[in-house]
């Protein structure tokens, strides 16, 4: 329990309404993990100075701090417990400036991705990163998890979008490195340490984000491919010949389940195939986008890379196609209690991995089902296994040969609470030891999001 005296001191820093407990806290949605609000105390600072004062107080009293952005994280990074405080960055939600000429935005860490996307759109720019949780996920949370998303093969992951960062260290010191430029070599690039640190080293309060040109006139298609290898060949071909924006991959079992349950009938009746792609391209105007994609797919059908294709003819059809991929929780609704993994497989190893995955699922029994989908360009697969006897059995199939293939067991969601054992099992021991050393230097009292990552 947090002592009343501490709560009073916190109220002096952030104001009476900035400390939320009991009934008020119960009105707040816990987000992706039911355990996120278990601490029972949420502190909501309004600016960097207040974040610094809160951390100084917590550090002095050795009170653990669990940072929260939009609570959309999928690895338990926001889980809190009694005796800790939740530090919500939601009120740092100002877009301080956005330069069309510079192609940059300076934002508070509580700004949601969608707000930044909408602001950038007004000046014909985009964030260069997109995830389905865009309405709630915050820039600070996305930086802390080094989020990836659907455009990573073009614009990189969050790490590549961050030009500048302001962080508050556990002792209340503020490190400001808010450069607005790509080229800045001023000694060790310390901001990179905080990107992907999942709130275990410091609190991110502000950031400079590099924006990308907006995609104005897009065309979208759903295509069925004879194999993952054909899907990859098509992806590389379109990357060379068109302005390819997105290439989302789905295996047969996922597509069949999602389309049958999400509809519409036209998609549920679409040709069955081992692999599917949702492709999106950009062009100088709308008719050109449609005709370019149509021609490219007609060619791909002739070459045998595609067996069937649907080109969205309206925004409604586009949304229906995307819904098949984005509402992936449909798997959990049909098969509750499945196990989920977030892995990367290099594209040259994808067919091998899929074959061994399918064989592994079959070997576990006819009741066991495997579902894989993800971002093709960077080989990032979200893999669900339903009906396995336990998580270790599922893990053995999903992680088999992943290292040998050159992949990663943790692609874009982070380590949080849920993948700590995997981190210890997979990561080079020297790297792990260095991580512990860095944590000890920056957070000697271990108050920052304890128990997460390390
Ligand atoms: C429907 C859905 C789709 C998703 N799709 C993708 C996807 O395509 N790609 C992808 O990479 N991820 C995806 N995610 C997960 C992704 O990690 C989060 O959506 C996002 O990056 C987290 O942002 P958030 O603001 O919700 O952070 P939270 O969930 O609140 O926090 C995430 C972690 O960061 C820490 N943290 C939060 N804010 C700060 C801060 N200001 N300073 C320090 N630490 C902080 C927290 O302690 C926690 O460890 C998806 C999630 C959902 C629910």
Q: What is the pLDDT along the chain (454 residues), one digit of tens a residue?
A: 899 999 999 999 999 999 999 889 999 999 999 999 999 999 999 999 999 999 999 999 999 999 999 999 999 999 999 999 999 999 999 999 999 999 999 999 999 999 999 999 999 999 999 998 999 999 999 999 999 989 999 999 999 999 999 999 999 999 999 999 999 999 999 999 999 999 999 999 999 999 999 988 899 999 999 999 999 999 999 999 999 999 999 999 999 999 999 989 999 999 999 999 999 999 999 999 999 999 999 999 999 999 999 999 999 999 999 999 999 999 999 999 899 999 999 999 999 999 999 999 999 999 999 999 999 999 999 999 999 999 999 999 999 999 999 999 999 999 999 999 999 999 999 999 999 999 999 999 999 999 999 9
- Check residue 100 and give its pLDDT: 97
Domains and CATH numbers, the chain: 4-88 (3.30.43.10), 95-213 (3.30.465.10), 217-326 (3.30.70.2190), 335-410 (3.30.70.2740)
Spacing, Cα 66 to ligand 1 middle (Å): 13
Q: Which of 378, 375, 343 is nearest to 357 (CA)?
A: 343
Spacing, Cα 68 to ligand 1 middle (Å): 9
- Check residue 216 and give its pLDDT: 84
Q: pTM (2 decimals)? A: 0.94
- Check residue 336 and give its pLDDT: 92
Spacing, Cα 267 to ligand 1 middle (Å): 31
- Check residue 337 and give its pLDDT: 87
Per the DSSP assignment, residues forming a β-bridge with 125 are: 213
**Cβ proximity of 213 and 125 under 8 Å:** yes
The three-state secondary structure class of 11 is: helix
- Check residue 319 and give its pLDDT: 96
CA angle centred on 54, ends 50 and 57, rounded to 5°? 140
Q: Which ligand 1 atom is nearest residue 110's CA?
A: 41
Q: Which ligand 1 atom is nearest residue 204's CA?
A: 42
CA distances 198 to 85, 145, 177, 452, Å, are 16, 5, 19, 8
């Amino acid at each position: 329990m947090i002592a009343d005296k501490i709560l009073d001191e916190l109220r002096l820093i952030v104001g009476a309404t900035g400390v939320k407990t009991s009934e008020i806290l119960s009105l707040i949605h816990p987000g992706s993990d039911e355990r996120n609000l278990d601490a029972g105390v949420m502190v909501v600072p309004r600016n960097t100075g207040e974040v610094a004062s809160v951390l100084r107080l917590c550090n002095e009293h050795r009170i653990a701090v669990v940072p929260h952005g939009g609570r959309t994280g999928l690895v338990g990074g926001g889980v809190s417990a009694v005796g800790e405080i939740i530090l919500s960055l939601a009120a740092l939600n100002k877009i301080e400036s956005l330069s069309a000429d510079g192609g940059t935005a300076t934002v508070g860490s509580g700004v949601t991705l969608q707000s930044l996307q909408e602001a950038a759109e007004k000046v014909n720019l985009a964030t260069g990163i997109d995830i389905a949780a865009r309405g709630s996920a915050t820039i600070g949370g996305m930086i802390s998890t080094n989020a990836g998303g659907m455009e990573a093969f073009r614009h990189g992951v969050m790490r590549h979008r961050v030009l500048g960062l302001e962080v508050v260290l556990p002792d209340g010191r503020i490190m400001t490195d808010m450069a607005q430029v790509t080229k800045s070599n001023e000694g060790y690039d310390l901001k990179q340490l905080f990107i992907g640190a999942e709130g275990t080293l410091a609190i991110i309060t502000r950031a400079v984000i590099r924006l990308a040109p907006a995609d104005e006139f897009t065309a979208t298609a759903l295509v069925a491919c004879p194999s993952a290898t054909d899907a990859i060949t098509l992806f590389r071909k379109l990357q060379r010949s068109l302005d390819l924006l997105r290439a989302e991959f789905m295996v047969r079992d996922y597509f069949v389940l999602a389309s049958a349950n999400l509809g519409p009938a036209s998609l549920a009746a679409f040709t069955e195939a081992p692999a599917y792609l949702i492709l999106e391209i950009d062009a100088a105007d709308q008719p050109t986008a449609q005709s370019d994609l149509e021609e490219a797919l007609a060619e791909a059908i002739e070459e045998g890379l595609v067996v069937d294709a649907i080109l969205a003819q309206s925004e409604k059809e586009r949304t229906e196609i995307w819904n098949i991929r984005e509402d992936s929780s449909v798997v959990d609704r049909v098969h509750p209690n499945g196990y989920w993994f977030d892995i990367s497989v290099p594209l040259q190893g994808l067919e091998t991995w899929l074959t061994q995955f399918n064989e592994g699922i079959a070997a576990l029994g006819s009741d066991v089902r495997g579902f894989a989908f993800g971002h093709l360009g960077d080989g990032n697969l979200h893999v669900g296994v339903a009906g396995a006897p336990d998580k270790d059995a599922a893990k053995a199939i999903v992680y088999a040969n992943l290292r040998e293939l050159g992949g990663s067991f943790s692609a874009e969601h982070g380590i949080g609470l849920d993948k700590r054992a995997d981190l210890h099992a997979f990561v080079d021991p020297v790297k792990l030891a260095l991580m512990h050393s860095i944590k000890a230097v920056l957070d000697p009292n271990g108050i920052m999001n304890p128990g997460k990552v390390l």
